[in-house]
Amino acid sequence: GAPGDVNSNVLVARSTGDAQLDKAVWQWLSWDKNQKTKEQIESLLQSGKHKELRDRLCCRLTFGTAGLRSAMGAGFCYINDLTVIQSTQGIYKYLERNFSDFKQRGFVVGYDTRGQVTSNCSSKKLAKLTAAVLLAKDVLVYFFSTYVPTPFVPYAVQQLGAVAGVMITASHNRKEDNGYKVYWENGAQITSPHDKEIIKCIEECVEPWNGSWNENLVDTSPLRQDPLKKICDSYMEDLTKICYHRELNVQTSLKFVHTSFHGVGHDYVQLAFKAFGFQPPIPVPEQKDPDPDFSTVKCPNPEEGESVLELSLRLAEKENAKVVVATDPDADRLAVAEQQENGCWKVFTGNELAALFGWWMFSRWKENCSQDADVRNVYMLATTVSSKILRAIALKEGFHFEETLPGFKWIGSRVKNLLDNGKEVLFAFEESIGFMCGTSVLDKDGVSAAVVIAEMATYLQGQSLTLAQKLVDIYETYGYHISKTSYFLCYDPPTIKRIFERLRNFDGPQSYPSCCGIYNILHVRDITTGYDSSQLNKKSVLPVSKSSQMITFTFQNGCVATLRTSGTEPKIKYYAEMCALPGHSDRSVLEEELQKLIEALVENFLEPDKNGLTWRSA
């Protein structure tokens, strides 16, 4: 048969000697209509690369902390036209079971600017195929006519009363990756049991339906609507609910630089600044337009700090701008840098920014609330691997602080629950620079965070303070919280498993370590198994999460440290924090103690040399 022809003789002649693999190859070549990815599988088959074929075809995508995420390319565990069609068919099936009015209420589809020429794969094309599957089944689809920030999808789901939505993005991952992020009708990312149920539904209908490949349906179907203008206008108007000092913003002399990291953020951050009364921030010209290759940075993750912020810091110096805001490629996270008196730049960590946001959102609430407002009705949230600074502020000010599992999907669902019960939620965050200011969007949002930081800096300038000075002031008031987060790369899943199993059987079977080097351990909490030594019944209060590894140690010296696997990348991450009470603050002593403890943790528990782990290149 001709190349791309499914001629059974050719396939039998090229049998791999493995029935499961033969079936998977046959399915792929029968179903995939994307020539480029089809050819990738054919050429692997022809050159007898059975191991790689098995890696690509004999496993499926699963939902991690941010939905489905993988490299673009051919195979059932990669992101490509076929797996996106399959995932959407499964979602269609699941929603049809759960909502009688699914077709009328509709479904939202958004996308970023990623792409890969060699697989003829782009976020927009994957979004068109997502829409096609649903339009072919007579579902109303709100398909954005251009790329949008990730937070626009959950926002649109709520505004338009849709049953769910999908954002095609891999956020700040490397350029080879893409992803499929699913939001439920409540505007929060899906959590269990929905994710498990959707995976089941995907497996029930893996063969593409008639019409699923028709990506032109978004241009021809009367059931397709473009929500762009309505959602953008409405979002910018809602944003002004958390604008408190418009008159200061209008006349400030402060200048801001914004980089959108070759992603979607530029237009939307410009509009947000305008909504707050600011002059538009100065864009970094080389990074303001979408570029799927992220040409000017080694990785498109603003968390990596000064090395990836180079262009924006140089521009700021040239323009005499004191504050730089950086949104990641899908604009759901925010990095901030501020020039200090000595001319050096301070790049804030996610935990430091959270201290500033927490102070700001609470003090604005206090200044603007009605006489009879009850502080006990007010909440802030953070994921359990994030700084406990909000807990310290909450204890002193009288509002509530709650923790969730890592991943903003848990925060979104919990916030919705609190709002439905008449509570007021001011702020939530995760340490990996994800912030939610206000509750218009139940997910992290870099667009709103950027403009809130600008207003905060403007207000502080009026008090002759910088962000960095205010941060010290917050620590002096509520107690120093010094934290450090980093990671090791490990591409071998069995090694990762072995590291964590060793910790569970450290001093013998089923016994966790009682010390780490010279540091005594008070409590151990293992989210993977649901064990918590600090609870009377030894059971963790946070829900068990069997699919990922995560153990937290509380030390006698007040340090809390967590080891966990990443939900989106081949990493073992560690998080450690020293919390001091107000007035017990010698910062350098705390920093030194934390550093020594981390060294002990890495040496004793992760054993990087023995396990062949690569430390994040500093």
- What secondary structure does DSSP assign to 286-320, as a single string? GGSS--TT-TTSSSS-GGGTHHHHHHHHHHHHHHT
Same domain, 527 and 471: no
The token pair that represents 59 in the structure block: 């496993």
pLDDT at 17: 84
Q: What is the pLDDT of residues 26-37, one digit of tens each?
A: 999 999 999 999
CB atoms within 10 A of CB 341: 8
pLDDT at 12: 44
* CA separation for the pair 306, 311 (Å, rounded): 10
- Does some domain include residue 33? no
Same domain, 83 and 225: yes
* CA separation for the pair 422, 366 (Å, rounded): 18
Domain end position, chosen among 232, 257, 288: 232
Pairing of strands 256-259, 282-283: parallel
Pick 62 or 235 by higher pLDDT: 235
Residue 422's alpha-carbon distances to 232, 249, 417, in angstroms, are 27, 32, 9
605: DSSP letter: I
Same domain, 415 and 529: no
Same domain, 342 and 452: no
Pairing of strands 141-143, 107-111: parallel
User: Amino acid letter at 95?
Assistant: L
- Does some domain include residue 50? no
Same domain, 394 and 448: yes
Q: Where residue 13 falls among pLDDT bands split at 50, 70, 90?
A: very low
Same domain, 358 and 306: no
- Does some domain include residue 491? yes
Same domain, 471 and 537: no
Q: Where residue 2 falls among pLDDT bands split at 50, 70, 90?
A: very low
Q: Give yes or no for a contact between 327 and 263, defined as CB atoms under 8 angstroms apart.
A: yes
Structural domain count, the chain: 4
pLDDT at 617: 58
Q: Where residue 412 falls among pLDDT bands split at 50, 70, 90?
A: very high
- Does some domain include residue 271? yes
Please report the beta strands in 506-611, taking only residues with DSSP state E, as ranges in sequence order.
515-516, 519-526, 531-532, 550-555, 559-565, 571-579
Average pLDDT over residues 558-583: 91
Same domain, 85 and 190: yes
Closest CA to 83 of 49, 53, 106, 59: 59
Same domain, 431 and 509: no
pLDDT at 570: 87
Same domain, 87 and 210: yes
- Does some domain include residue 453? yes
* CA separation for the pair 602, 581 (Å, rounded): 27
CATH code of 571's domain? 3.30.310.50
Residues 101-140 as b or e (16 or more Cβ within 10 Å = b): ebbebbbbbbbbbbbbeebebbbbbbbbbbbbbbbbbebb
Give the least confident one: 12-16, 135-139, 203-207.
12-16
Residue positions annotated with a catalytic role: 171
Same domain, 452 and 500: no
Closest CA to 306 of 337, 339, 352: 337
For residue 201, the Cα-to-chain-centroid distance in whole angstroms is 25
* CA separation for the pair 61, 90 (Å, rounded): 13
Domain end position, chosen among 204, 232, 260: 232
Residue 447's alpha-carbon distances to 175, 398, 597, in angstroms, are 22, 29, 36
* pLDDT surpassing 50 at residue 434: yes
Q: Give the domain extent around 458.
A: 351-365+374-477
CATH code of 444's domain? 3.40.120.10
Closest CA to 569 of 516, 493, 508, 518: 493
- Does some domain include residue 242? yes
Average pLDDT over residues 567-595: 89
Q: Where residue 259 falls among pLDDT bands split at 50, 70, 90?
A: very high
Residue 375 region by backbone torsions, left for phi larger than 0, else alpha for psi between -120 and 50, else beta: alpha
Q: Give yes or no for a contact between 451 and 269, defined as CB atoms under 8 angstroms apart.
A: yes
- Does some domain include residue 28? no
Same domain, 325 and 405: no
- Does some domain include residue 35? no
Q: What is the pTM of this model?
A: 0.94
Q: Where residue 547 falls among pLDDT bands split at 50, 70, 90?
A: confident
The token pair that represents 129 in the structure block: 């195929």
Phi, psi of 430 (to 5 degrees): -125, 150
